[in-house]
C-alpha cells in the first residue's frame, strides 16, 4: 500500500528531475556532480561540519565550471533530456537517502541482537508511514548492497 511518505518521495523525485530538465546541460552537470560529490565527501570525511564545507566548495566549483564550459545549456530537446537524467540521478540519491536514514532500533532476541527499521520510538504517524512504505521495502536491500552504494546512501551506517 502506498503511504503519504511514498507520495512525498515520488514528488521530490519528480521535482528534482524537472529541475534538472529545466536547466538542460547544466542540469546534467548539476545532478552527476552532486552524486559524485556525495560519494567523495562521504568516503573521505568523518567530520560532518568539514564534510559540509567541502561539499559546498566542490559544488560551487562544479557550478562555475559548468557555466564556463557550457555557454548554451538549453534549447534543443536532447539537452533537456540530458538535464532530466542528471536530475533523476540526484533525485534518486535523495529519495534513497531520505528513505533509509531514519533511526534504527536494536532489540535483544535471546542471545542475538536484531535491528528494527524504522525505530519504534518515532512518532506513530511517521513510523506507520515509513514502516508500510513500498519504496522502503524495495530499498532495504541496499543495506546489503555494494560498498559504493552504502557510502552514497547510508554513510553513517558504515561507521
d(CA 119, CA 102): 7
d(CA 61, CA 65): 6
Tens digits of residue pLDDT in 118-156: 999 999 999 999 999 999 999 998 888 888 888 888 877
Res. 158: pLDDT tops 80? no
- Alpha carbon distances (Å) from 116 to 2, 24, 79, 151: 21, 42, 44, 21
Average confidence (pLDDT) over 62-91:
88
Res. 39: pLDDT tops 80? yes
Confidence band of 109 (pLDDT split at 50, 70, 90): confident
Residue 142 in grid coordinates:
541496499
Res. 38: pLDDT tops 80? yes
Domain residue limits, the chain: 1-159
d(CA 83, CA 31): 8
Q: What is the pLDDT of residue 48?
A: 79
Q: What is the pLDDT of residue 17?
A: 98
Residue-averaged pLDDT of the chain:
90
d(CA 78, CA 83): 9
Average confidence (pLDDT) over 108-124:
89
Q: What is the largest CA-CA distance in the chain?
A: 63
Q: Percent of the chain, pLDDT > 90? A: 52
Q: What is the pLDDT of residue 85?
A: 97
Res. 159: pLDDT tops 60? no
Amino acid at each position: 500500500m502506498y503511504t503519504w511518505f511514498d507520495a512525498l518521495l515520488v514528488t521530490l523525485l519528480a521535482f528534482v528531475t524537472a529541475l534538472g530538465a529545466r536547466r538542460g546541460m547544466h542540469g546534467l552537470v548539476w545532478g552527476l556532480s552532486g552524486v559524485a560529490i556525495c560519494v567523495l565527501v562521504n568516503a573521505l570525511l568523518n567530520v560532518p561540519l568539514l564534510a559540509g564545507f567541502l561539499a559546498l566548495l566542490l559544488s560551487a566549483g562544479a557550478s562555475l565550471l559548468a557555466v564556463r564550459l557550457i555557454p548554451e545549456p538549453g534549447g534543443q530537446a536532447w539537452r533537456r533530456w540530458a538535464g532530466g537524467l542528471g536530475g533523476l540521478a540526484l533525485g534518486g540519491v535523495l529519495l534513497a537517502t531520505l528513505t533509509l536514514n531514519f533511526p534504527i532500533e536494536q532489540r535483544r532476541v535471546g542471545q542475538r541482537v536484531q535491528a528494527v527499521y524504522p525505530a519504534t520510538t518515532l512518532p506513530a504517524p511517521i513510523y506507520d508511514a515509513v514502516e508500510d512504505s513500498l519504496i522502503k521495502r524495495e530499498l532495504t536491500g541496499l543495506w546489503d548492497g555494494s560498498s559504493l552504494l552504502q557510502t552514497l546512501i547510508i554513510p553513517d551506517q558504515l561507521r
